[in-house]
Amino acid sequence: MISYKHLEFHPEKPTDNNEINQIIELVKVNLSEPYCIYTYRYFLNQCPQLCYIAYDDEKPKGQNIIAVSISKAETHQGVRVRGYLGMIAVDPAYRGKGIAKTLIDKSIDVMIDSYHCDEIVLETEVDNPQALNLYESFGFIRTRRLFRYYLNKNDAYRLVLPLTEKSTIRTYFL
């Protein structure tokens, strides 16, 4: 049984470090870019609602996080609210079960309902067809190819999902 919930974060009490460590480990093993602790803290503190976690309820606590999506939402250039899907990692043993799809779906819901995002943006490696197909199945389209974007020298595509008219109007005219 797989369950989903977003990260609980209360500024007045310490975060559950066990969960944070599991998330960090999952991302570290499954994504090519190295991120420092502040990168995780930045996302998790900023928008805990947008850190969606998938649990395998049959596994013991402390080892039960099997997938995570880490995102944020903020005003972009003072004119539109932009959601940003930062990282998605799924334990290889749980791939092909639609978990990433569910995490993206839930993140998009929160970005629309709670943050009223005008668009959602992300970058992904050009030679990761699985990730590209997944995002593009939600309607994300490639807007730019970013030359040698990653530390491993791979190019990236910037993908954008327009949610309101604002996303389709040049910033200058907003």
Partner 1 sequence: MSRHTNPAELNNLELDSWVDITQQFFETAKNVKHGNIVKLESLDLMEGTDAKEILNPALDTGLIEDESYDCDRDLTLDETVRVVANITSCLVTWLDSSSLPVTLFSCRYIEEILTRFSALLSSSTIVEKIFQVSNLQYSNKLDQSDSFTYRILRAYLIGVLNFTAFVLNIPVLKDEEDLNRVSMDLNIDLLLQFPQKDVADLVNSAYSLLEKRDDKNSKVLQLYFDILKRLQMLYPLSASVNQGDFQDTLFLHEATGFIDKLSEENDYIDSIPQIPHLFTRGIQKRKNNIFPPRPIKMHSFTICISYLHYLFDDLKLAMDVLCFQDAADLRNRLYIFGSKRNEKLPDQEHTSTHIVAALFLESILLRDGLILGAIPVSEFLKQDLSSLTAGESVVLSLLEDDKLTNDRAIKARASSLLQEMEKTYISWIQSFLQNPSKQRDFFLDSVVVWDTIQVTADDLETSLPDDYGLEDTFKSIQPDGSLSELPVMPLSSYVYYMKLDSMVQVVFRGIELEIYKPWEMYQMYWYGLYLLSTLESHIARMKDVAKYKLSKAEGESKDIWKKTLDHINFLIQETIVFKTLAQAQQYTWTILDNLKLLKLPKYNRTTPQLLYQLRMKPFSSVGIPQLPSIQHFQNFADEIAEGSLRFRTERERVQDICFRCSSAVRQLTTEVKTAASQLKKIHPSRGRFKADYERGVDQILRSSIGVAVFSTKVNKKIKDAEFVTQCLKENPSNQAYDVSLSRAQYHRFFRLRRLNI
Residues that bind partner 1 (CB under 8 A): 14-17, 20, 28, 34-39, 41-42, 45-46, 101, 105, 108, 119, 126, 136-149, 151, 153, 155, 157, 160-165, 167-170, 172-173
Which one, 54 or 117, has the nearer CB to partner 1? Answer: 117
- Which DSSP symbol is given to 78? T
Which one, 44 or 68, has the nearer CB to partner 1? Answer: 44
Contact 125, 92 (CB under 8 A): no
**What is the smallest separation between the CB atom of 63 and partner 1, expressed in angstroms?**
19
**What is the smallest separation between the CB atom of 58 and partner 1, expressed in angstroms?**
27
Alpha helices in the chain, H assignment, sequence order: 17-30, 37-46, 99-113, 129-137
**What is the smallest separation between the CB atom of 161 and partner 1, expressed in angstroms?**
6
Which one, 91 or 136, has the nearer CB to partner 1? Answer: 136
- Which DSSP symbol is given to 139? T
Which one, 55 or 140, has the nearer CB to partner 1? Answer: 140
**What is the smallest separation between the CB atom of 165 and partner 1, expressed in angstroms?**
7
Contact 55, 3 (CB under 8 A): yes
Buried-state track 27-63, b at ≥16 Cβ within 10 A, e below 16:
beebeeeebeeebbeebbeebbbbbbbbbbeeeeeee
